[in-house]
Amino acid sequence: SLASTAVTCFTRGLDLRKETEDVLCPANCPLWQFYVFGDGVYASLSSVCGAAIHSGVITNAGGAVRIQTLPGQENYPAVNANGIQSQVLTRWASSFSVTRSKNTALEAVGRSVSTARPSTGKRPKKTLDKKAGNKDCKADIAFLIDGSYNIGQRRFNLQKNFVGKVAVMLGIGTEGPHVGVVQASEHPKIEFYLKNFTAAKEVLFAIKELGFRGGNSNTGKALKHTAQKFFSLENGARKGIPKIIVVFLDGWPSDDIEEAGIVAREFGVNVFIVSVAKPTTEELGMVQDIGFVDKAVCRNNGFFSYQMPTWFGTTKYVKPLVQKLCSHEQMLCSKTCYNSVNIGFLIDGSSSIGDSNFRLVLEFISNVAKAFEISDIGSKIAAVQFTYDQRTEFSFTDYTTKEKVLSAIRNIRYMSGGTATGDAISFTSRNVFGPMKDGPNKNFLVVLTDGQSYDDVRGPAAAAQKAGTTIFSVGVAWAPLDDLKDMASEPRESHTFFTREFTGLEQMVPDIIRGICKDFLDSKQ
């Protein structure tokens, strides 16, 4: 049969009805949002398109795949493949496998569907606000062009033409992408910054005026310089917009590029490498490090590297590159712990705390929250107060700016009552973290208490952790160390905090922030 099911990036095996089903996966799904369990045989909880990419049946360009339902099994393994990290699952009731679809009619449809995606450059002839640019493309881009003797004057001019075409198709504008150019040669030179031009015409003119510098292609040096100096707020970088460096490299770099790649990742910059005329067999002896592309890109998953055989006839390479640069959900290096976590605070409101100490607790929470980039696409904060009872002060979706979150924390009223910490953890896990379960952010719970809980904390804490929430326990005064350790995530030592006095909370703030960031980074490895 030619019938096939069009599916979304998030369709799971268990959403399909038939034993064997041909499905058509869309293009450009955000890889980091895929939930995949197992390897080869996938738990039916897994995204079918994620599993298809993970197993190498299709790439992120989408395509037709056949899903075969299989019985459930135990111990689905975690394997990192094709840019997707699958996860461990102890057991699940059913599974599926993925193969290439034999359905040729479907393939043809698939191709026309995937090429008919709304292009990022040419938009329907509406009265487009030219000044605003392409609002769908969120990016601050540095083009790091090759100005070395390797490329030479003639190809340098062709490179300028190519960069100009990319700049035009991006749809530069006040609310669209912003671009700047850095030239790599012996010493890097920032030719113009993000803030200098907001119209494609001006950018084109500035690119035409660039002079060829010559010298060694010290790309590593230039990449490091660009990552450190180019994206400052005073040079026009915008908060919450992905930072991208597109490195053009003719041949190979004459210096080490690996360290620069690490620096760029630490600065939250997404590095793309466009390599042109890559080294031939007889040139390989001259190349310091053959794997230079993999070491410099943001992630070695195929998305961040791009190859062109020569500088001649490059027009057809413009649009695919622009589509990559505009896929903001793929910019894995923009995801830092500061903009990709949900932090819930569980606040003890028992009568032993008292009004003035309760203020100190709220101050502590504010100081932790303040460190994060809170927005609708960034980090989120929630707070629950508990005695024997629980009260959600605000949930993750209530406030999406830092100001509003901080003012909501200030307005929390002290309840006063008993202490049932276990119940409160279950309540928070279910009602506050439950709705965020499939979101892209990593979940953290900070529990603050000053005394012994009347109920069991170990069971509820273990269940919350199993559901993907990392717990930090912060105890004050009479909070028993055993309770604190029982609640905390592994390794317990680094997730358990204690102070005799409420005034000691202030000193813990940097440690909690550092702990959250360490866990975030470890989860990404």
When pLDDT is cut at 50, 70 and 90, the band that residue 378 belongs to is confident
Q: Is residue 335 part of a domain?
A: no
Distance, CA of 8 to CA of 454 (rounded, Å): 46
Distance, CA of 195 to CA of 184 (rounded, Å): 20
The answer, yes or no, to whether residue 116 has pLDDT greater than 50, is no
Q: Over the stretch 196-223, which tens digit does the pLDDT of each residue have?
A: 998 999 999 999 999 999 999 899 999 9
When pLDDT is cut at 50, 70 and 90, the band that residue 176 belongs to is very high
**Letter string b/e over residues 1-17, b meaning 16 or more CB atoms within 10 A of that residue's CB:** eeebeebebbbbbbebe
Question: According to the model, what pLDDT value does residue 129 have?
Answer: 65
Output the domain CATH number for residue 199. Answer: 3.40.50.410
Residue 292 shares a structural domain with residue 196: yes
Q: Over the stretch 388-445, which tens digit does the pLDDT of each residue have?
A: 999 999 999 999 899 999 999 999 999 999 999 999 999 999 999 999 988 889 999 9
Question: According to the model, what pLDDT value does residue 123 have?
Answer: 43
Residue 317 shares a structural domain with residue 373: no
More reliable by pLDDT, 493 or 126: 493
Mind giving me the DSSP string for 351-369?
TTT-HHHHHHHHHHHHHHH
Residue 320 shares a structural domain with residue 425: no
Residue 408 shares a structural domain with residue 506: yes
Question: According to the model, what pLDDT value does residue 115 have?
Answer: 35
Q: Look up residue 298 and give its amino acid.
A: C
More reliable by pLDDT, 23 or 524: 23
Q: In 3D, which of 215, 219, 151 has the Cα closest to residue 182?
A: 219
Q: In 3D, which of 110, 101, 32, 109 has the Cα closest to residue 327?
A: 32
Last residue of a domain, one of 298, 326, 354: 326
Q: Over the stretch 429-486, which tens digit does the pLDDT of each residue have?
A: 999 999 998 888 999 999 999 999 999 999 999 999 999 999 999 999 999 999 999 9
Residue 215 shares a structural domain with residue 320: yes
Q: Over the stretch 86-106, which tens digit does the pLDDT of each residue have?
A: 888 877 888 999 998 876 554
Q: Is residue 454 part of a domain?
A: yes
Residue 319 shares a structural domain with residue 345: no
Domain residues for the domain of 27 are 5-100
The answer, yes or no, to whether residue 107 has pLDDT greater than 60, is no
Residue 275 shares a structural domain with residue 316: yes
Question: According to the model, what pLDDT value does residue 125 have?
Answer: 42
For the segment 314-321, the average pLDDT, to the nearest whole number, is: 92
Say which range, 20-24, 119-123, 151-155, 341-345, has the weakest mean pLDDT.
119-123
Q: Is residue 256 part of a domain?
A: yes
When pLDDT is cut at 50, 70 and 90, the band that residue 33 belongs to is low
Question: According to the model, what pLDDT value does residue 104 have?
Answer: 53
Q: Is residue 107 part of a domain?
A: no
Q: Is residue 310 part of a domain?
A: yes
Q: Is residue 113 part of a domain?
A: no
Mind giving me the DSSP string for 389-423?
SEEEEE-TTT--SHHHHHHHHHTPPP------HHH
Q: Is residue 128 part of a domain?
A: no
Q: Residue 224, SS3? A: helix
Distances in Å between the alpha carbon of 210 and those of 146, 160, 236? Answer: 12, 8, 20
Residue 79 shares a structural domain with residue 181: no
- Could you give the dihedral angle defined by the CA atoms of residues 227, 229, 230 and 235, in that order, rounded to the nearest 10 degrees? 150
Distances in Å between the alpha carbon of 440 and those of 13, 324, 337, 377? Answer: 20, 20, 12, 10
Q: Which residues does 282 contact at the CB level (< 8 Å), separation at least 6?
A: none
Say which range, 335-344, 353-362, 463-472, 474-483, has the weakest mean pLDDT.
335-344
The answer, yes or no, to whether residue 488 has pLDDT greater than 70, is yes
When pLDDT is cut at 50, 70 and 90, the band that residue 525 belongs to is low
Residue 389 shares a structural domain with residue 493: yes
Mean pLDDT of the chain: 89
Q: Contact, 180 vs 172, CB < 8 A?
A: no
Q: Contact, 47 vs 23, CB < 8 A?
A: no
For the segment 174-178, the average pLDDT, to the nearest whole number, is: 92
pTM of the predicted model, to two decimals?
A: 0.55
More reliable by pLDDT, 346 or 10: 346
* Structural domains in the chain (count): 3
The answer, yes or no, to whether residue 127 has pLDDT greater than 70, is no
Residue 152 shares a structural domain with residue 277: yes
Residue 365 shares a structural domain with residue 432: yes
Residue 241 shares a structural domain with residue 267: yes
Q: Over the stretch 216-273, which tens digit does the pLDDT of each residue have?
A: 989 999 999 999 999 998 999 998 789 999 999 998 888 999 999 988 988 889 999 9
The answer, yes or no, to whether residue 117 has pLDDT greater than 50, is no
Q: Is residue 148 part of a domain?
A: yes
- Helices 200-208 & 152-170, crossing angle to 10 degrees? 180
Cis before 491 (ω within 30): yes
